[in-house]
Structure 1
Amino acid sequence: MIGYLQLENGRTFEGTLFGKVEDVTGEVVFNTGMTGYQELMTDPSYYGQIVTMTYPLIGNYGINLEDLESDRPKITGLIVRERAKHPSNFRCEMDLDSYLKYSGVTGLEGIDTRALTKVIRDHGTMRGVITTRMLTDTQLKQRLDSYDNGDAVRQVTARESYTLEGAGVHVAIMDFGIKNNILRSFQAKGCKVTVFPATASWQEVLQVRPDGIFLSNGPGDPKDCREILENVKELVERKPTIGICLGHQLIALALGGDTQKLAFGHRGSNHPVKDLGRDRVFITSQNHGYVVKDVPESMEVTHISMNDGSIEGLRHKDKPIFTVQFHPEASPGPSDSDYIFEQFMTLLEEVEQGA
């Protein structure tokens, strides 16, 4: 069935619909990963977005239900140049089309994804509609004006707290849209983790007497998280804290810094980041549309992007707090930055020994 992508700047792309055939509206972004499509589709940080894959063939190893990063896809739509209709992998349980149908997600294939990516790079991310019929300018404007992603974190967070047992340190996790592999990473290090909804108060979090706090990744603009920010301010004053992605941005805001939206974001599994302390470059997995613009006076920069020089990591000058913008749990992507979890474990040990 013929389908269309209509962008707010007036550009239109024609392709073929797959997955669930229905009209959807979202922020159109692109991801440069060659693999890992099922991980990124189920990454809650993509909530409300229509994701364009720059790699031309998607779905060639199919879908397996063990490698999902959440219970279901969080993307609004998926755009590919070509979907693999006959996947081949011993772990494959279904093809891409079947999975999107099963999950209720709209797909569009056959458009010029290179041209679309260039539009986004030149003009920035923008709202768009995947539709079964061409919309008039008035209809398009109505659809786009109805799009609001300001409540994204509340849509993807856990509905209630839960605990995963472990014999090691106890980490309280604020779930702003956490990925499964972050939980696996902490469990692999023997940690006990208690996961709290984004709406939990700082008093509720401290009531379980954690050794440290982890602020997770998540979707949307950090400045939309005003109530969450108040809790973050209290938590970082009381416990050793690490934040990644959205958590990194929230800590910066809580301590007096500022954030801004990137033109087209960092989304892919091949982003070089320099650790200034180690004087080494690591290849990282990233998915974010906002960055820290102004560093709080109490913090210092630890990591920078080698692509555009943006801030990728911060450390407090006096308190046991540090952050990174990238995803150290590496799903999808390389495992270069797994040392971030080790760094947090070491920090907790140092705080306990100094107590």
Structure 2
Amino acid sequence: MPDKKYWESSRIHVSGLIVSQYVDTPSHFQSKMTLGEWLKKEKIPALVISDTRYLTQKLRDQGAQLAKIIFNKDIDFDDSNKKNSVATVSTLRVSKEGKGIKTVVLIDCGVKKNITRSLLTRGIKMITVPWNFDVFSLKEKFDGVIVSNGPGDPKMVDVTIETVKKVLAKKIPLLGICLGNQILALAAGGDTYKMKFGHRGQNQPCVMVGTKHCYLTTQNHGFAINEIPKGFSPWFINANDNTNEGIIHKKYPFMSVQFHPEATPGPVDTGWVFDYFLKRI
């Protein structure tokens, strides 16, 4: 585990961890603590199971499903899709960072810190707000809105969806990332669905619609858009399964991507998405 300044969040967000092999001798030059020490510190249960392939086969056949780790006492299954998981990870306060001519409001649905870093390095003033905050109550004038990544079913994030509807009505430039992609679709009249497996990993190929450009992207989502809202066009599609990876409005500066342009970890092929958005505000 590296120094905290390199983290993408302030804490571990998984409820448990299963690995096929654990090596307790870290060799990375940035390491400050072993994985085992970190898990114990944050009270996260973990198991070493040599036959993880058996679990993989069950997931391959049946798709993503509920699971639990039992040690001594049985526990109930916890279905995160039946609750608003965003409310458990979003910031609780409004914060302001950076200096610049342009001001962007970042709606934190569980934002990765490299989204913040990516924006600040581009010389903007950024106001980060909770998922259920009324952005129009801010005293500052803002030039654009970004809806971040986050966990769970996008349809549970009702207040953010309503906020985005108001942003669209006022023709304020908007960029959605990951969960933000799904929220934009729902706010504009589209629809989303739960995928059988979801997209996980650092090498998901995405093709920009209308071009031969294919980008390697970082992804971690279990929901996707299955109905493009009126007035929008597909922006990117997944080269593996042709699922939607982003939408863009035909007239106004509203756009979103299902992948993570900020990477960390993964390829930085799509960092230009931030530049494209900022040029349109």
* Contact 2:80-2:152 at 8 Å conserved across structures: no
Farther-moved stretch of structure 1 (326-335 vs 159-168):
159-168
Match of 1:76 among 5, 15, 35: 15
Cα offset, 1:67, TM superposition? 2.1
Partner of 2:151: 219
The yes-or-no answer on 1:298 pairing with 2:231 is yes
Contact 1:65 1:93 in 2 (8 A): no
Aligned AA (1:155): T
Q: How big is the shift at 1:278?
A: 4.1
Report the counterpart of residue 110 of structure 1 in structure 2. Answer: 49
Bigger strand fraction: 1
Q: 2:105 aligns with which of 165, 172, 187?
A: 172
Q: Describe the SS at the equivalent of 1:193.
A: strand
Q: Give the root-mean-square deviation of aligned CA atoms.
A: 1.5
TM norm structure 2: 0.95
Q: Distance in 2 between matches of 1:256 and 1:220?
A: 19
**Contact 1:164 1:194 (C-alpha < 8 Å) held by counterparts:** yes
1:66 CA drift (Å): 3.0
Structure 2 CA distance, aligned partners of 1:253 and 1:89? 42
Q: How does 1:1-355 map to 2 (within 5 A)?
A: 62-133=1-72, 135=74, 143-144=76-77, 147-149=79-81, 150-205=83-138, 207-238=139-170, 239-348=172-281
- Residue type matched to 1:211 in 2? D
Gaps of 5+ in 2: none
**Cα displacement string for residues 279-327 of structure 1 (whole angstroms, at most 9, x for unaligned residues):** 2100000010000001012100010001110000101112110110000
The code of the aligned residue for 2:226 comes to K
Per-residue deviation, 1:64: 3.6
**Equivalenced residues, count:** 279
DSSP 3-state at the match of 2:6: coil
| Residue deviations 1:74-102 (CA, integer Å, cap 9, x gap) | 11111111122111122111111001111
2:55 corresponds to which letter in structure 1?
Answer: L
Preserved contact between residue 299 and residue 315 of structure 1 (Cα < 8 Å): yes
Pair 77,326 (structure 1): closer, same or farther in 2 beyond 3 Å: same
Identity percentage over the alignment? 36
TM superposition shift of 1:148: 4.3
Residue identity opposite 1:107 in structure 2: A
> Secondary structure at 2:14's aligned position in 1?
coil
**Is the Cα–Cα contact under 8 Å of residues 271 and 284 in structure 1 kept in the other structure?**
yes
Measured against aligned partners, the alpha-carbon deviations of 1:110-146 in whole angstroms (never above 9, x if no partner) come to 24222212211210111111111485xxxx6xx12x5
Instruction: Out of 230-239 and 126-135, give the one that drifted further.
Output: 126-135
Unaligned ranges ≥5, structure 1:
1-61, 349-355
- 2:191 and 2:228 in contact (8 A); partners too: yes
